[in-house]
Structure 1
Amino acid sequence: MTAFSSWRRVAPVVAVMAGLAAGSVTAQEYQWPRLLVIGTPSTSTGSFASTNGWAPVLQQETGMVVRVVPTGAEPERYNRLTIREDIQISSVSASEMRFQIQGITGYAAMPAKSMRMIWHHNDTPWGFVTGGKSGVEALEDLKNGGLRMAQAASSPAMTEAVTVGIPAYLGMSPEDAQSKIDYVPTSSYGENCKSVVEGKADIAYCSPISSVLSEMEAAPGSIRWLAMPADNPGWDAYLDINPMLVPSEMTVGVSTAKGVPGATSNFVYAVATDTDADFVYNLAKWFDESFDNYAKTHMLAARMSRDLWRGYLDRTPMPVHEGTVRYLKEIGVWTDADDEWNEAAVAKMDAWIAARDAALKEAQEQGVELNFENPEYLAILDKHTKDLEGFRSRL
């Protein structure tokens, strides 16, 4: 167990004494931990860049040593947050968080761990990009066969978006998709996106706010984005596969994406559920009160405002940490209705964790290999989880 995880479960003596005296620990009384490590996606992402924007401000204002650690593979960052405990906060998309809790694809055989949101990171636009000189005109061209789709093996959520979600959006059967779409595995998010300007793939699933997209836009031939109009009937099927997304026009990021219909996937900062409530309370307070001090450090840092966080709370299905709830109640932006849906979200997450724990235990007792590609194990997992309701945006 790391030093931080010990602190995570037991508040510092100073904090405890203040809590006994005043009922909660104020920012003035609070003793920040010596070190805070924040995990983000790879260096080519807006998540990494924007976190690097506000982290030095947090360090200067609190005295903590704040480190930002990029981890390209999503399952590895989840492991570092919940199992290894060598990062304390993770920047993660709500879509990926759903995969982690429900044990979808690459997460199926990993230990199930409860998590909570502590603050909104950004509302990330996503879309499908192709080379500027490619012959691809629309996603529907995939139905004709012969096109290559990049597959980001580093992210189970991104993998399912292209291997299951897009075929569903296009009305293709799994068999048609396998026979007509040539999937090109890539080892990282950056490699996934760059594949379309390097001639390795024809279409890739990317976010226009990522720094790698600026490089791609400046490459010979540039890039183009393939529209997903909100009124396309394929959205119903696509959202069944990607229920955390919201259809929307891309308005930020590289110029080639602006005005093109795509989707929004919210990123949040998440922690393990047992993270010390006083720490989360004071961090939430800092995010809010110091917003003007860090908002201009990166365009995505400006998406961390209280107002945008409040707006996201009206549609997120994921539970919020008790420390953040305490702060939001204190400033009058958390309602009785929020208590109701948050309690339901906590119960839903608890049910998923319990079911997955039971599946792992049964598989171990029966000597079944814990592998997300093992049909025998997946049958056990399905038996324990098939009656549970999945997480889906509250649209």
Structure 2
Amino acid sequence: MELEVREEDRHLLALALEGAPGGQDVLGEVPWGVALGGSRISPSRTRGFRPRKAWPSAMACQWCFWLIRAGPAPCRLPRPPASAPLTRLRAPPIFAVPCVSRRRDFPPRRQDPMMTTKRSLAAHLAALVSVLLLGAPLTEAQTRVPRTLVWTAYDVGSAGYSQAASIGHAMQTKEGTTLRVIPAGNDVARQIPLVKRTAHFGALGAAFFLSQEGVMEFSAPEWGPQQVRILGAAWAAFNTGAASCGADSGIKTVYDLKGKRMAWVVGAPALNLNMTAFLAAGNLGWKDVQKLDFPSWGAAGRAVIEGKADCYIASTNSGPVYELASSPRKYSAAVVPEPTRDPAAWERLKKAAPYFEPNAATIGAPPISKDTPHQGATYGYPIVTTYAWQDAELVYQQTRMLYELFPVYKAAWPGNEGFALEAQRLKWVAPYHEGAVRYFKEKKVWTAELERYNQQLVRRQEVLGKAWDRAQDEAQKQKLGTAKFPELWMKIRTEELKQAGFDPYWETKFW
């Protein structure tokens, strides 16, 4: 079976294979492989694909969404033209092949124009499902009462992906709403489907905040500050974004990171800023460590497990962290001393990453437990995110399901308990969507003070938008190139935010 893929989307299905071991395996034969979350697959002797031996033999959502399986794959795509070799593509995939092993009617067959009204209606419904799965823009009519919702998330195996999948399972069993989770290896790739309106929501990390502020990768001329909105996050007893290391490296605290092999994930500003913040807490910078580039979060985690790197950023409850803990290297998360014991470390950390809060994690891979908590830093993760333009009724319904189905999915994955309504921090670093606010008002947890605070955050985004327009005009007048634009943008950004009475957080380019 073959899928029809739009020409402009065809190359978005490819992983950035530059420098990836075994990457050339995919190029020489037809059909060619599609990689999910940084994994690499080679053509097998069957019509489908088999995962490379270095990767788990089965990497699939247990609720049958994205699929790589150790047997004939249900879908194939044509080989890309030689004029655009995969080795030159740097952007990771933002689309993946949907599992059709249980959907014999996918894609929908071409119908005779003289079909009956009943069959015509069925064809239109099937086409709508196809459109949602293959990434066509979501229209206003489609967002009102959708039977299928689309989220983006971190790589397969990550805590965010697993938590999103467990929420989707609850939505399917209790509400009859299907949740499709698109895994992607970096922050930009997770946000592109939201911008293109091919996904409704994202189970994102701190990158949602960086996109609001227009910094790091989001300072590029094609991005700029984004009008993101949140519905909630998992504020649980795990630490998000810990410096996760092989225990045999001798790392116990952030002060031990000096000289170690640290992962930098290309196109993942949130992950990289988190690591930058932990280095700062230890009074270090990237010049004090060995910086290793990786194409995705999954690839960085695999490198630590295999002894090719010492540390990468991962939540204490991420799947690969448990794998690291069971490997010969064992697992160690670098400790950040409590603010009362080392206030200078926390001052440096918060200056780099304002969204972090001190936390003693009791959920995580061994040796983390209630008896041996990990003292570190955290923020809500995953953060259910959308854009200001998203339909308010759709956001309200998703918010309702997120909190009212909580008892159903609470125990499905470690950390899900952080999605409890009473655990939410309604005063944080980005505004809540009006659809979510409607639900909070119904539950009588939204106050006039929270409304004023939320509107201030909306106003901050407006100021950032004004600053961005000014920076683009100035760059055009000065004929600045792309490389010099971020410095101009940060200067104007700081001026506009200070003038409006807001903290700019960062006053100069820091990446």
Common fold, TM-score beyond 0.5?
yes
Cα deviation 1:364-387 (Å, max 9, x = unaligned): 5654333xxx1x212331232012
Q: Distance in 2 between matches of 1:49 and 1:337?
A: 35
Within the candidate set 246, 262, 266, 1:149 is matched to 262
Does 2:374 align with 1:260?
yes
- Deviation, 1:289, is 2.3
Q: 3-state SS of the aligned residue for 1:269?
A: strand
- Deviation, 1:3, is 4.9
Paired amino acid for 1:297: A
Provide the residue aligned with 2:347 in structure 1: 236
- Deviation, 1:138, is 3.7
Provide the residue aligned with 1:19 in structure 2: none
Provide the residue aligned with 2:429 in structure 1: 317
The verdict on how the C-alpha distance between 1:168 and 1:190 changes in structure 2, with shifts beyond 3 A counting, is same
Paired amino acid for 1:196: V
User: Contact 2:254–2:281 at 8 Å: present in 1 too?
Assistant: no
TM-score, normalization: structure 2?
0.65
The verdict on how the C-alpha distance between 1:138 and 1:118 changes in structure 2, with shifts beyond 3 A counting, is closer
Q: Distance in 2 between matches of 1:161 and 1:291?
A: 29
Q: 3-state SS of the aligned residue for 1:313?
A: coil
1:173-252 pair list within 5 angstroms: 177-178=286-287, 180-230=288-338, 231-232=341-342, 233-252=344-363
Paired amino acid for 2:420: S
Does 2:461 align with 1:349?
yes
Q: 3-state SS of the aligned residue for 1:256?
A: coil
Provide the residue aligned with 1:274 in structure 2: 389
- Deviation, 1:340, is 1.1
Provide the residue aligned with 2:247 in structure 1: 132
Paired amino acid for 2:294: T
Does 2:399 align with 1:287?
no
- Deviation, 1:187, is 1.8
Unaligned residue ranges in structure 2 (runs of 5+)? 1-134, 506-511
Higher helix proportion, which one? 1
Provide the residue aligned with 2:448 in structure 1: 336
Q: Distance in 1 between matches of 2:456 and 2:161?
A: 31
Return the index of the structure with the highest Cα Rg.
2
Cα deviation 1:34-83 (Å, max 9, x = unaligned): 3311111111211100111111221344443321111111112112112x
User: Contact 1:117–1:318 at 8 Å: present in 2 too?
Assistant: yes
Higher relative contact order (CA 8 A, sep 6+): 1
User: Contact 2:217–2:267 at 8 Å: present in 1 too?
Assistant: no
- Deviation, 1:96, is 1.6
The verdict on how the C-alpha distance between 1:127 and 1:3 changes in structure 2, with shifts beyond 3 A counting, is closer
Paired amino acid for 1:102: E
Q: 3-state SS of the aligned residue for 2:418?
A: helix
Does 2:412 align with 1:297?
yes
- Deviation, 1:251, is 1.2
TM-score, normalization: structure 1?
0.83
Q: 3-state SS of the aligned residue for 2:234?
A: strand
Cα deviation 1:317-344 (Å, max 9, x = unaligned): 2101111111111221111111111111
Paired amino acid for 2:490: D
Paired amino acid for 2:213: Q
Q: Distance in 1 between matches of 2:140 and 2:147?
A: 13
The verdict on how the C-alpha distance between 1:364 and 1:45 changes in structure 2, with shifts beyond 3 A counting, is farther
User: Contact 2:152–2:191 at 8 Å: present in 1 too?
Assistant: no
Cα deviation 1:288-309 (Å, max 9, x = unaligned): 2222222232233322111112
User: Contact 1:142–1:181 at 8 Å: present in 2 too?
Assistant: yes
User: Contact 1:91–1:121 at 8 Å: present in 2 too?
Assistant: no
Q: 3-state SS of the aligned residue for 2:304?
A: coil
- Deviation, 1:205, is 2.7
